Chain A
Amino acid sequence: MSSSEYYCVPGDRLCPCDRATAGPGTYEKQNCIYASIAGTIQLTTVDQSSNNSDKKPIISVIRQDRSLAVPSVGSLAYCKITNVTSRFVRCLVFAINNQPLKTPCHGRITRENIESINKDSVVCSTKFRPDDIVLARIIALGDANAYLLSTAEENLGVITARSVAGGKLIPISDCQMKCPMTNTVEPRKVAKIQADLTDEVSKLT
């Protein structure tokens, strides 16, 4: 990380390709890396123990006052469930990788992508309900209507939800959540988040 600020504008040539790998805010052309947005140049070194074959640093251009979150394949998406049908679940994606989107995008989780085991015997209404906040991963850009999402991992699934009575549900296992007001247990596909984060999550409405 450079402490002094190096400003660049789109089209500035930063360095040749063999010195660094192109990170966000840059593009490659003819064996050179150029800046594509206006901002400060940042060089991050890759740790030597990682699995990358090339240990080149990553050069990227950062813009502090603007965060342009782009839904891309493999990124984590925070979404709110809008429809639950027998074959798929529709949701509105409002944040990507901890960055909020300006306007929400539409996403869809098909029945086979909800769980990683016993995929075909899944009943969607026992996994998600409308108005649940769900952490999912974008697996494909999908079609004209929605992005394709998946929760088929341990740490993906419902983060917060409200019970039928209106109380905030507390997770008790990976497939059940309990309402503190009525003590009823409701089935959900629960996201397994670390213990020190449960306090943060319980503060969320």
Chain B
Amino acid sequence: MSTPMDTSSLPIKNKSNQLTSTLTTDYIAGSDLISIEGYRQDGRKPNELRHFRVSFNVVPDADGSCYMEHGNCKLLATIYGPYEGESRSNQEQAIITCDFSMTSYCVSERRLRTFGDMKSQRLQMAIQRVFQQAIITETYPKSQIDIYLKILQSDGNDYSPCVNATTLAFINAGIPMKDFVCSSTVGYIQNKCIIDLNQQEEQQKSPQLTLTIMPQRDDIVALTCESRVHHDIYNEMLDAATRANLQLFDLMKQAVINQLKTVLHVL
């Protein structure tokens, strides 16, 4: 791995890195994505997660709800169910449906179409498939569980915070799950793996990977990588993503246990 000193002393030119197939420069003149001292634009180290904060029981009417702030991404996950669904086919398992929408003020330019577009539909299907695996659906035959996701403020990748918030909302609802489901992104910039990308880092044309795992069972639920990388880099990114997810799991577990303790003290 080249030391930071070397890259900043070179004149600005198109660096063709043999290991990745990106054509653009790895750094923008004047504003490195990773500075000389090793800090990113928002002040984090490469292996540091964004600020993480959760709140449970936010929607009192729902069975489970979770408000999550993951850096600048703020969203609300609500769970209704299990209840006797409308389409009651002869099913041995519960049906999980997902509804994803954004507010019109969630990005810097006001959005007119907040639901039903391609990105929302893909995200809905992805979350529905992930949680169909993670929830022990045999406990609730012939019933339906609804997930409602609302993005209040978006900072790049919405999928990972949605998965994390949905996991916490399911735990708040008391619906049995095999394990937590944690998700985070990792990128490869300036020969370093950086975890938990924000919007600016994501918009770079550098390799990215989104990993969704069940941390205690060590199972990969979903993995998305739309870049072409050499498999050494790929393995490095995968390891970094796994570590990021384990860090996230510790934070989520701590939040759940704190909430249990406060609830039981009140009772």
Interface residues of A (CB under 8 A from B): 5, 7, 9-13, 25, 27, 29, 34, 36-40, 63-66, 68, 70, 102-103, 105-106, 141, 143-145
- CB-based contact B257/A10 at 8 Å: no
- CB-based contact B139/A70 at 8 Å: yes
- CB-based contact A145/B174 at 8 Å: no
Instruction: Give Cα A159–Cα B178 distance, bound, in whole angstroms.
Output: 40
Instruction: Give Cα A65–Cα B57 distance, bound, in whole angstroms.
Output: 12
Main secondary structure of the interface of A (DSSP, over half): loop
- CB-based contact A68/B264 at 8 Å: no
| Min distance, Cβ B44 to any Cβ of chain A, angstroms | 27
- CB-based contact A143/B253 at 8 Å: no
List of A residues within 8 angstroms of B215 by Cβ: 11
Is B89 in contact with chain A by the CB < 8 A criterion? Answer: yes
**Contact indicator per residue, chain B 46-87, by CB within 8 Å of chain A (1) or not (0):** 000000000000000001000000000000000000111000
Instruction: Give Cα A27–Cα B136 distance, bound, in whole angstroms.
Output: 9
**Chain B residue nearest to A63 in the complex (CB):** B174
18 contacts between A and B (CB under 8 A): A9-B171, A9-B253, A10-B180, A11-B178, A11-B216, A12-B216, A64-B263, A64-B267, A68-B82, A68-B175, A70-B139, A70-B140, A103-B83, A105-B84, A141-B142, A144-B88, A144-B89, A145-B88
Instruction: Give Cα A38–Cα B142 distance, bound, in whole angstroms.
Output: 24
List of A residues within 8 angstroms of B141 by Cβ: 141
| Min distance, Cβ A29 to any Cβ of chain B, angstroms | 8
| Min distance, Cβ A77 to any Cβ of chain B, angstroms | 13
Instruction: Give Cα A7–Cα B254 distance, bound, in whole angstroms.
Output: 11
Is B179 in contact with chain A by the CB < 8 A criterion? Answer: yes
| Min distance, Cβ B32 to any Cβ of chain A, angstroms | 39
A10-B178, A13-B216, A38-B171 are known contacts; what are 4 more A-B pairs with Cβ within 8 Å? A9-B256, A9-B257, A10-B171, A36-B136
- CB-based contact B174/A66 at 8 Å: yes
- CB-based contact A65/B263 at 8 Å: yes
- CB-based contact B174/A143 at 8 Å: no
- CB-based contact A11/B260 at 8 Å: no
| Min distance, Cβ B112 to any Cβ of chain A, angstroms | 35
**Chain A residue nearest to B91 in the complex (CB):** A144
List of A residues within 8 angstroms of B267 by Cβ: 64-65
Interface residues of B (CB under 8 A from A): 63, 82-84, 88-90, 136, 139-142, 171, 173-180, 214-217, 253, 256-257, 260-261, 263-264, 267
Instruction: Give Cα A26–Cα B62 distance, bound, in whole angstroms.
Output: 24
List of B residues within 8 angstroms of A66 by Cβ: 173-174
Main secondary structure of the interface of B (DSSP, over half): loop
Instruction: Give Cα A12–Cα B176 distance, bound, in whole angstroms.
Output: 12
List of A residues within 8 angstroms of B257 by Cβ: 7, 9, 38
**Chain A residue nearest to B261 in the complex (CB):** A7
| Min distance, Cβ A37 to any Cβ of chain B, angstroms | 5
With contacts A7-B260, A10-B180 known, is A102 near B63, CB below 8 A? yes
Instruction: Give Cα A44–Cα B261 distance, bound, in whole angstroms.
Output: 22
List of A residues within 8 angstroms of B178 by Cβ: 10-11, 27, 29, 34, 36
Instruction: Give Cα A133–Cα B171 distance, bound, in whole angstroms.
Output: 34
List of A residues within 8 angstroms of B82 by Cβ: 68, 70
List of A residues within 8 angstroms of B214 by Cβ: 11
List of A residues within 8 angstroms of B173 by Cβ: 66
Instruction: Give Cα A68–Cα B90 distance, bound, in whole angstroms.
Output: 22
List of B residues within 8 angstroms of A63 by Cβ: 174
| Min distance, Cβ B187 to any Cβ of chain A, angstroms | 28
Instruction: Give Cα A105–Cα B179 distance, bound, in whole angstroms.
Output: 29
Instruction: Give Cα A13–Cα B179 distance, bound, in whole angstroms.
Output: 10
- CB-based contact A144/B177 at 8 Å: no
| Min distance, Cβ B74 to any Cβ of chain A, angstroms | 23
| Min distance, Cβ A155 to any Cβ of chain B, angstroms | 27
| Min distance, Cβ B60 to any Cβ of chain A, angstroms | 12
List of A residues within 8 angstroms of B180 by Cβ: 9-11
Instruction: Give Cα A12–Cα B217 distance, bound, in whole angstroms.
Output: 9
List of A residues within 8 angstroms of B253 by Cβ: 9
Q: Which of A12, A25, A65 has the most CB of B within 10 A?
A: A65
| Min distance, Cβ A8 to any Cβ of chain B, angstroms | 9
